């Protein structure tokens, strides 16, 4: 059976976690043909903070943040291999390249600079993981995702050029029992500039590999045993789902379910490859399987929360009606800025949209819109989306909070609340 595995940042966050991953591959788990790994722990957040310091030209802060990232990775290298290892030298070289690149990219457009910075996290982590797996006898070949996944130049949310990507991946030489290890989240343009596939995009990278290799199964290893009908960190009585279909999983990820990246499922669905979500902490625990056939998750009520939401109300400046042309203009502007509308509601005199509060992307979009339309905004909101709701469930979740906006169809209800009125911990009615 040809398997592809994906391990997230929590599963390789330190030396102990990398050792545990090695034990898993050396013993309990069947050996995969290919594997994708994310950046270590909170490295992506740290690289985003580093980028911010570089863009602000705060040299002292930049140096402190770069040193912290360097220390985190070299500490892991020393814990695994002892002082003065070859992998430590490799990490130092990649960080020096990152440092030099900041001076040449400082005045480049933000999305381009972002990709050249943040994608380095996966290059660092996979160097450590590949070295450790080879150290313990799990034959592993490090592969550069920038040479495998060809994309366009839409930085921060690049689109895959599928035909050459499939050809590059399928042409990888196959050696018995050798694991191909590559990076999640990143690819490259035809001229070699690093791109990223969207925040948390390593799941998508694994799906690209699985599709190109015509895998029998993709397993995503998480710190939870599977997919739940609500985020168990936010809903105290969330319930694990044993099985659900591609289509239902797509609906839930589109609305904000965080276990799987939204772009992961399409390539798997094209080949009919099942996706298993399993715990690396409890590998024997029952997983969740997502596939072509419906399961209990296709009818079970499911809740998704999106924090830090922004409501925009766009109206014609001349008082005319909202028509198809206005809607198309606004949505095109958002698409070009890489913004996703989490809720869309059309009224005769206004178009209402709810989006994540992403200042770097919002600023140019709003500037362009306010030149042509009246735009009002409201910040500090939380969006609750419920799949397969009934009235009793909605009333219980509502809790008497003020609804800023809402939308509902036959299978999905969305309600927007003031964040100040929302609890940190929610509970589904029994």
Residue 278 — very low, low, confident or very high, per pLDDT cuts 50/70/90? Answer: very high
The answer to the question of residue 294 being in a domain is no
Final residue belonging to a domain, choices 222, 237, 262: 222
- pLDDT of 261: 84
Q: Which of 195, 222, 249 is the last residue of a domain?
A: 222
84 and 183 within one domain: yes
Higher pLDDT, 196 or 102: 196
> Do 17 and 150 fall into the same domain?
yes
- Confidence band (pLDDT; 50, 70, 90) for 287? very high
| Top-confidence residue, 319 or 113 | 113
With respect to residue 84, please indicate whether it lies within any of the assigned structural domains. yes
Q: Given a cut of 80, is residue 430 above it in pLDDT?
A: no
Q: Report yes or no on 293 lying in a domain.
A: no
Q: What does the pLDDT average to over 75-85?
A: 97
189 and 320 co-located in one domain = no
Q: Is 146 helix (H, G, I), strand (E, B) or coil?
A: helix
Residue 205 has pLDDT above 90, yes or no: yes
What's the pLDDT tens digit per position in 365-382? 999 999 999 999 999 999
Residue 183 located in a structural domain: yes
Asked whether residue 292 is domain-assigned, the answer is no
| Domain CATH code at residue 383 | 3.30.2130.10
pLDDT in tens, 37-68: 999 999 999 999 999 999 998 999 999 999 99
Residues 21 and 137 in one domain: yes
* CA 259 to each of CA 18, 53, 101, 231, 287: distance values in angstroms, whole numbers, following the listed order: 21, 30, 33, 9, 13
**Coil, strand or helix: which one is 140?**
strand
The C-alpha atoms of residue 76 and residue 145 are separated, in whole angstroms, by 23
Say if residues 198 and 156 touch (Cβ distance below 8 Å): yes
**From the centroid of its chain, how far is CA 249?**
15
Residues 14 and 157 in one domain: yes
In 10 A of CB 131, how many CB atoms?
21
Average of per-residue pLDDT across 223-243: 94
Going by C-alpha positions, the residue among 149, 112, 134 that lies closest to residue 36 is 149
Does residue 214 sit in the same domain as residue 312? Answer: no
Q: Considering its fold, how many domains does the chain have in total?
A: 2
Residue 179 lies in a domain: yes
Backbone angles phi, psi at 18, to 5 degrees: -65, -40
Q: Domain range for residue 404?
A: 302-421
Question: Are 315 and 190 found together in one domain?
Answer: no
Are residue 74 and residue 198 in the same domain, yes or no? yes
Report whether pLDDT(199) > 90.
no
- Evaluate whether residue 408 is within a structural domain: yes
Single residue among 222, 254, 288 that ends a domain in this structure: 222
Looking up residue 126, the CATH number of its domain turns out to be 3.40.1160.10
Nearest in space to 114 (alpha carbons), one of 34, 195, 169, 172: 195
Q: Per the domain annotation, does 239 fall within a domain? A: no
């Amino acid at each position: 059976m040809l398997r592809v595995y994906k391990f997230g940042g929590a599963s390789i966050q330190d030396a102990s976690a990398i050792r545990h991953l090695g034990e898993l591959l050396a013993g309990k788990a069947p050996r995969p043909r290919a594997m994708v790994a994310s950046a270590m722990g909170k490295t992506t957040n740290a690289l985003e903070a580093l980028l911010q310091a570089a863009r602000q030209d705060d040299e002292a802060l930049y140096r402190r943040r770069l040193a912290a990232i360097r220390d985190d990775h070299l500490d892991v290298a020393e814990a695994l291999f002892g002082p003065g290892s070859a992998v430590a030298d490799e990490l130092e070289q990649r960080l020096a390249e990152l440092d030099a690149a900041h001076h040449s990219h400082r005045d480049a457009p933000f999305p381009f600079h972002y990709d050249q910075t943040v994608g380095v996290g996966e290059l660092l982590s996979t160097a450590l993981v590949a070295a450790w797996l080879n150290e313990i006898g799990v034959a592993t070949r490090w592969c550069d995702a920038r040479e495998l996944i060809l994309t366009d130049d839409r930085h921060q949310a690049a689109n895959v050029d599928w035909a050459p990507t499939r050809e590059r991946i399928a042409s990888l030489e196959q050696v018995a029992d050798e694991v191909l290890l590559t990076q999640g989240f990143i690819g490259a343009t035809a001229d070699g500039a690093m791109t990223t596939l969207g925040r948390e995009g390593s799941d998508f990278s694994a799906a690209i590999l699985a599709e190109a290799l015509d895998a029998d199964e993709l397993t995503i290893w998480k710190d939870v045993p599977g997919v739940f009908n609500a985020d168990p960190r936010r809903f105290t009585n969330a319930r694990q789902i044993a099985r659900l279909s591609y289509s239902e999983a797509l609906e839930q990820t589109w609305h904000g379910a965080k276990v799987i990246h939204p772009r992961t499922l399409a390539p798997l669905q094209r080949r009919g490859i099942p996706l298993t979500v399993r715990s690396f902490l409890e590998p024997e625990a029952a997983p969740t399987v997502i596939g072509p056939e419906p399961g209990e998750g296709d009818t079970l009520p499911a809740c998704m929360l999106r924090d830090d939401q922004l409501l925009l109300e766009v109206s014609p400046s001349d008082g005319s009606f909202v028509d198809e042309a206005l809607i198309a203009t606004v949505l095109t502007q958002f698409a070009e800025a890489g913004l996703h509308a989490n809720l869309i509601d059309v009224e005769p005199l206004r178009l209402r949209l709810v989006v994540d509060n992403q200042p770097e992307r919002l600023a140019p979009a709003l500037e362009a819109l306010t030149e042509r339309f009246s735009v009002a905004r409201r910040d500090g909101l939380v969006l609750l989306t419920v799949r397969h709701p009934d009235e009793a469930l909605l009333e219980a979740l509502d809790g008497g909070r003020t609804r800023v906006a809402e939308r509902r169809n036959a299978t999905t209800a969305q309600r927007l609340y003031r964040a100040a009125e929302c609890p940190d911990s929610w509970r589904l009615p029994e």
